[in-house]
Chain A
């Protein structure tokens, strides 16, 4: 699997590259800024791009601009955005109308190597990886007439995993339940929240986030 990295901190960039190389990824580009990344995209198309949200020269929105450009130009390439902060507003901007092949994670997540590699593979394969902080923040809000109150604790766990982009198989592995049980939970959750059943796993990410956001 071919990966391009755009990260201005040498320490992190090289660390990431080694981590990915160790896991048999083919690191095809190590970029210092967004322009280098754009150039790399012209030379060879990776399966997934890992991009720091703050890149030179202004360290403001260069990374997310590049990410959105790549998403628009190459819908088949996964884009995983890393940041010191995760912001719901930016997540919504990045997802726009599809969560397919998008990831948005705190940089800290790199240290949980197996989880992180899973997320990279998922995004490369067209799935999603949304930072759990975003979902847990949304879930922690008090609400009057809260539709979430109807969910059982188990359903809540499933919802949380579903919202960050975990596949049904991933949920089953994590919660140590069968795939069928996961499917049952998912349809029960969609029923209780009044959401139309959506087919793909990344489409339901967006649906759930939009639901939680209101």
Chain B
């Protein structure tokens, strides 16, 4: 069974109580407001705001329990009910309503700036909200204490002019916060490194409009009493409608589940590329699907190449089978706000994962084998090189010195013919030993290749070839040693085969660089029909070439010569 991250559930009973409390509060508020003669349209709009935020908040909390946005919206919804106290005839109730008059607007600004995570993202956002909260509570109380916004029961000092001044500053502050919020939202939209997912874009648009209306409302309140009631009503309507955009976003997530249905159908066809359909279903082009390969103890992509999971695990959704981690989706961290979608998509992926995972494992195995073959060949080569060096600096050097001494002895020894003959014989023996050692050492490792490169080494090979060779080497620089050695042996072995089997009269050897590939081609005009499987050493050559990530091909039609072509990447 696929398992996705545990989803916390918001406490059901609490939500029910909140919903009932809201209904009661709303009904009571409207009745109360109409009874004391408040504007019924305003009362209804206020109730609409309260209803819209609280209900949206309840739904959000229910569906995204880990997200603070739901509770924040519920608080916003309930706080806007306190405005209903404002028209109350009761002095205390009226005072409370007056004191909390601007708080709901600040809450609304908070909701928009905290969307979609429910947290204020940056220091600037937090500072703005701090200013707004202080203005709406502390400054508001100060205004009232100084005798502003009468009538109420909080006046301690009679300084109405000062109070009015401070109040206007307060309104400008909150309006300014709202406008700065609009700028932040616009910036966030532009800076989004990923294309903003659709509900987010919609929500940002709605939030921006609502913030503009809040600012307009407050600033018109300060600078122009004109049309204030109309603007107030339009603002209230817009503010009430904004959460609907959020609901639309939620609905969009539901719609996404429909695309999961399409995904399942698509995956049933066992596509070679799982990632594409998954990325489409999640609407996340950056998505990657990685497999856990227990044998290697590492994560790998579809091609079996090892990958590291991002350090930030919020963008990683593991996929498990039988309680074991088998794969993971690496996605946009914002997708964690749509856990159902992630759950559905990863569940669908789990069904189709088997093939992809086997494929990744197979490719990783092939990669590993290729690597170990290259290492075995490399180690062998190094060992042979070391032996050649030991022979050269040891036995060969001493034998040369010995033959030199024998030669000098020969020049000084005169008279005894037997002794001279014995000496000459000894010198010949040493010379033969040296020749044999030379062949062995050269067979171990072509020292000339290491020291002087392919062109010089191949020239000597061609000179020793059994038939005339037209040699063309077009290389500007030295190549990696392993590549040079492989190329050398391709030519060496091919020429040896020509001598043994081809009955050719001539051959060509071409070594060129085509792009980042070294191409080695040996063509003879012999009888063809070479045995590519056994004895010819072609298998060993193919090993060498393939270990370098290249390939060896042999064309050997009967009666029409043999062509050996090796291509190896050479950086």
A27 in the interface (beta carbon within 8 A): no
Q: A111-B427, A113-B407 are in contact. Are A87 and B460 (CB under 8 A)?
A: yes
Check A134–B452 contact: CB distance below 8 A: no
| Count, A-B residue pairs, CB within 8 A | 117
Check B505–A61 contact: CB distance below 8 A: no
B42 to chain A, nearest CB (A): 93
Check B408–A113 contact: CB distance below 8 A: yes
A18 in the interface (beta carbon within 8 A): yes
Residue of B nearest to A63 (CB): B451
Q: Using a CB-CB cutoff of 8 Å, which residues 101-150 of chain A contact chain B?
A: 107-108, 110-114, 116, 134, 137-138, 141-144
Residue of A nearest to B433 (CB): A108
Q: How far is the CA of A17 from the CA of B286 in the complex (A)?
A: 74
Q: A12-B397, A89-B457, A138-B463 are in contact. Are A112 and B407 (CB under 8 A)?
A: yes
A22 in the interface (beta carbon within 8 A): yes
Q: Using a CB-CB cutoff of 8 Å, which residues 139-163 of chain B contact chain A?
A: none
B529 in the interface (beta carbon within 8 A): no
Q: How far is the CA of A85 from the CA of B438 in the complex (A)?
A: 7
B30 to chain A, nearest CB (A): 96
Q: Using a CB-CB cutoff of 8 Å, which residues 155-214 of chain A contact chain B?
A: 213-214
Check A18–B408 contact: CB distance below 8 A: yes
Q: Which of B18-26, B442-450, B532-540 contacts the other chain?
A: B442-450
B397 contact set on A, CB distance < 8 A: 9, 11-12
A108 contact set on B, CB distance < 8 A: 400, 403, 431, 434-435
Check B438–A93 contact: CB distance below 8 A: no
Residue of A nearest to B405 (CB): A15
Check B392–A54 contact: CB distance below 8 A: yes
B109 in the interface (beta carbon within 8 A): no
Check A9–B401 contact: CB distance below 8 A: yes
Q: For chain B, what secondary structure do more than half of its interface residues adopt (helix, strand, loop), or is it mixed?
A: helix
Check B442–A89 contact: CB distance below 8 A: no
Q: Which listed residue (B396, B411, B456, B468) contacts A143, Cβ 8 A? A: B468
Check B467–A142 contact: CB distance below 8 A: yes
A105 to chain B, nearest CB (A): 12
Q: How far is the CA of A137 from the CA of B430 in the complex (A)?
A: 21
Q: How far is the CA of A142 from the CA of B505 in the complex (A)?
A: 8
Residue of A nearest to B402 (CB): A111
Q: Which listed residue (B393, B441, B448) contacts A89, Cβ 8 A? A: B448
Contact mask for chain B residues 513-528; partner A; CB cutoff 8 A; 1 contact, 0 none: 0000000000000000
Q: Chain A: interface residue count, which band?
A: 35 or more
Q: Chain B: interface residue count, which band?
A: 35 or more
Q: Using a CB-CB cutoff of 8 Å, which residues 25-84 of chain A contact chain B?
A: 54, 59-61, 64, 84
Residue of B nearest to A141 (CB): B468
Q: How far is the CA of A111 from the CA of B393 in the complex (A)?
A: 18
B430 contact set on A, CB distance < 8 A: 111
B398 contact set on A, CB distance < 8 A: 11
Q: A54-B392, A89-B448, A110-B407 are in contact. Are A12 and B401 (CB under 8 A)?
A: yes
Residue of A nearest to B389 (CB): A59
Q: How far is the CA of A172 from the CA of B389 in the complex (A)?
A: 41
Check A60–B451 contact: CB distance below 8 A: yes
A93 contact set on B, CB distance < 8 A: 452, 456
B446 to chain A, nearest CB (A): 9
B393 to chain A, nearest CB (A): 8
Residue of B nearest to A14 (CB): B401
A90 contact set on B, CB distance < 8 A: 448, 452, 456, 460
**A positions within 8 Å CB-CB of B:** 9, 11-12, 15-16, 18-19, 22, 54, 59-61, 64, 84-85, 87-90, 92-93, 107-108, 110-114, 116, 134, 137-138, 141-144, 213-214
| 8 A-B pairs with least C-beta separation | A89-B459, A89-B456, A60-B451, A111-B403, A111-B407, A88-B463, A87-B460, A11-B401
A-B contact pairs, 21 of them (CB 8 A): A15-B401, A22-B411, A54-B447, A59-B392, A59-B393, A84-B441, A85-B441, A87-B456, A88-B459, A89-B458, A93-B452, A110-B403, A110-B404, A113-B407, A113-B410, A114-B411, A141-B466, A141-B468, A142-B505, A143-B506, A214-B468
Interface contacts beyond A61-B451, A90-B448, A107-B396: sample of 20 additional A-B pairs, CB < 8 Å, sorted by A: A15-B408, A16-B404, A19-B404, A19-B407, A22-B411, A61-B452, A84-B392, A84-B441, A89-B460, A90-B456, A90-B460, A108-B400, A108-B431, A110-B404, A110-B407, A111-B400, A111-B427, A113-B408, A137-B463, A144-B505
